[in-house]
Structures are given as C-alpha cells and as structure tokens.
Amino acid sequence: MAERRIDSRVLSDPWCLIAVGFGSGLAPKAPGTFGTLAAIPVYLAFSYLPPAFYTAGVLLFFALGVPACGCCGRILGKTDHSAIVWDEVVGFLVTMWGVAASWQSLLLGFVLFRFFDIVKPWPIRVIDRRTRGGWGVMLDDVVAGAFSALILHLLVVSRTI
C-alpha cells in the first residue's frame, strides 16, 4: 500500500504528533534515522536520572507509543508508515539504558540500533511481521534496542569503547 502524504490534519492530531516524533519523522529521506537522532537529546536528558526513573521514563514513552503509533497508522492508512518514528525514540532509549553518555557510546549505540532496526535479524523480523498495530510498531524496535544494548554493554564492560 502506498504511503499517504502527510498533511496538516495529521500533524494536528496529538497521537500523530507523538508518533512522528514531534516532526522528526517528516524528513524526506531516512526518517527512521532522523527519529533516532531526535532521541539523542532525550537520552542526554534522561542520562542524568537515576536508573529507576530512566526506566520509568522509557516505560511511559512505550506506553504512549503503542496507542500513538496505532492511531497514527490508521490515520495514515499504513500501520508502520515511514513517518512514524516514536518507536525509534524508544528503541534508542532502550539501547542506551545504563550507559554513560560519551560521544563514543552515543555513536556506537546509534550505529548498533540502526543496524538492528534496519536488518531485523531473528526474532526482530518475526515480531515485526506477526505483531499488529501499535504493539507491532513499538515492540520490534524495543527488541532491536535490547539487542543493541546487550552488545553495547558487553563492549563497555570489556572497555572496548
């Protein structure tokens, strides 16, 4: 199904505004990458929080993302429209959970998350194909973030970065 063009009516919907990452998903090329880039300042703000509050923030963002992405997908006529990038924001926050902010960790976390989000190895691909609606949009990116976090933590612990 062709992707519906984004218009001002979509941006006036609060759920769609969240789902498109407050506009970061409207980039004409590589909107997922721009959505992930938009997550960096969010991560930097969250990085000052104690782990329990960071986790609560990510869970809140996930809880907002499920209905936002589902609703916006229905409005746009495509469940996982390329402009929907809230899942990238949450996935990147999962990637960076418990990692000290540095340009090296940000760069590696960004590359790892984009790799897993784009390539979608098993089981991410299965989740992407079999889970519907807002849950499906969000869940595959959370799992991509978890894979990325695992590798990032292994590299940080081994002091590779």
Q: Is the residue at 148 inside a domain?
A: yes
Q: Is the residue at 55 inside a domain?
A: yes
78-107 confidence digits (pLDDT tens): 999 999 999 999 999 999 999 999 999 999
Q: Is the residue at 1 inside a domain?
A: no
Contacts of 108 (CB under 8 A, 6+ apart): 152, 155, 161
The number of folded domains in the chain is 1
16 within 8 A of 72, measured Cβ to Cβ = yes
61 within 8 A of 145, measured Cβ to Cβ = no
Question: Within 10 A of 117 (CB to CB), how many other CB atoms are there?
Answer: 26
Q: Which amino acid is at 95?
A: T
Q: Is the residue at 141 inside a domain?
A: yes
pLDDT, residue 70, reads 96
pLDDT, residue 159, reads 73
Say which DSSP state 97 is in.
T
Q: Record the pTM.
A: 0.94
pLDDT, residue 11, reads 82
Residue 77 tokens read as 């006529």
Q: Is the residue at 64 inside a domain?
A: yes
145 within 8 A of 94, measured Cβ to Cβ = yes
Q: Is the residue at 74 inside a domain?
A: yes
Q: Is the residue at 14 inside a domain?
A: yes
The residue range of the domain holding 31 is 8-157
pLDDT, residue 4, reads 58
Q: Is the residue at 2 inside a domain?
A: no
62 within 8 A of 97, measured Cβ to Cβ = no
pLDDT, residue 2, reads 56
pLDDT averaged per 10 residues in sequence order, the chain, 161 residues: 65 93 93 97 97 98 98 92 97 96 96 97 94 95 98 83 58
